[in-house]
A and B are shown apart, each in its own frame.
Chain A
Amino acid sequence: MENTNNPSRPEDELQYIRSIIADSRASFVEDGKPYVLWGLIVAVGMGITYISVLTQRDLYIGFVWMVLVLIGWGSSIYYLIQQRKQTQRAPSFLDRIQRSIWTACGSALGLSIVLILVFRHSNPAEPSIHPFYVTFVTSLILGIAYYLSGIAHDIKWLRNIGFAWWGGAIVMYLWPSVHVIGINAAMLILFQVVPGIVLMRRYKRITSQSAEA
Chain B
Amino acid sequence: MAEQFDYQQLDELLHSRIRLAIMAVLVSVEEAEFTFLREKTGATDGNLSIHLKKLEEAGYVTARKRFVAKKPVSSYKLSRKGRKALGAHIERLGALVQNGHL
Question: Does the CB pair A17–B29 fall under 8 Å?
Answer: no
Q: With A and B bound together, what is the CA distance between A25 and B25 in angstroms?
A: 9
A130 within 8 A of partner (CB): no
Known: A11-B97, A16-B17. A91 touches B50 (CB 8 A): no
User: How many A residues are at the interface, by size bracket?
Assistant: 20 to 34
Q: How many B residues touch the partner, as a band?
A: 20 to 34
Q: Are A90 and B33 in contact (CB under 8 A)?
A: yes
* B15 contacts across to A, CB distance below 8 A: 4, 6
* Smallest Cβ-Cβ distance to B47: which chain A residue: A3
Please give, as numbers and ranges, the residues of chain B lying within 8 Å of A7 by CB-CB distance: 17
Q: Which residues of A lie under 8 Å from residue B25 when comparing CB positions? A: 20-21, 24, 90
Cα–Cα distance between A66 and B24 once the two chains are bound (Å): 47
Q: Given the known A-B contacts A90-B29, A91-B31, are A2 and B40 also in contact in the complex, defined by CB atoms under 8 Å? A: no
A89 at the interface (CB under 8 A from B): yes
A21 to B41, CA, bound (A): 11
* Cα distance A25–B32 in the bound complex, in angstroms: 12
State A23–B21 Cα separation when bound (angstroms). 11
Q: Is B85 among interface residues, defined by CB-CB distance under 8 A?
A: no
| 104-150 of chain A: CB within 8 A of chain B | none
Give me 12 other A-B pairs in contact (C-beta within 8 A), A13-B20, A14-B90, A17-B24 excluded. Answer: A3-B17, A5-B18, A9-B5, A10-B97, A13-B93, A17-B90, A20-B21, A20-B41, A89-B32, A90-B25, A90-B36, A93-B30
B residues near A (Cβ < 8 Å) are 2-5, 7, 15-18, 20-21, 24-25, 27-33, 35-36, 40-41, 47, 50-51, 90, 93-94, 96-97, 101
